[in-house]
Amino acid sequence: MTMTSSNTPIPVDDGFNEYESAVKRQKSTTSKVWDEMTKLECDNKNELKAQCNHCKTIFSAKSSSGTSHLRRHLNSCLKYFLSKCLKFNLAYNLYFVIKLNMLMD
């Protein structure tokens, strides 16, 4: 039994539409840095910006810029650091209050 090759395309419904693929899709943001930054809409569609949720400093957010500069900013942002300390202290104090209540019961 020999298999012969045919140049006739076989129609396959794989959910892919060549016309839809031409439309640019927005890539999802997967970096944890976006939990601490907000993307800003600009009048110029080629210019994207990110704003620190803590100190409100504005940075470039183009995909070619990456997120390393945003992460470096968070490592030196005093307001971000203080918010992390405050959250840690609240959680730490809550832990001891719960422990103390358990010992008193």
Alpha carbon of 77 to those of 56, 66, 68, 84, 91: distances in Å? 10, 18, 14, 11, 21
Q: What is Dmax (Cα atoms) for the chain?
A: 85
* DSSP code, position 64: G
Residue 96, pLDDT score: 73
The domain spans of the chain are 32-102
What's the pLDDT band for 5 if we cut at 50, 70, 90?
low
Q: What is the pLDDT of residues 41-76, one digit of tens each?
A: 888 877 889 999 999 999 998 888 889 999 999 998
The more confident residue out of 16 and 61 is: 61
The more confident residue out of 52 and 96 is: 52
Residue 99, pLDDT score: 75
pTM exceeds 0.75 for this model: no
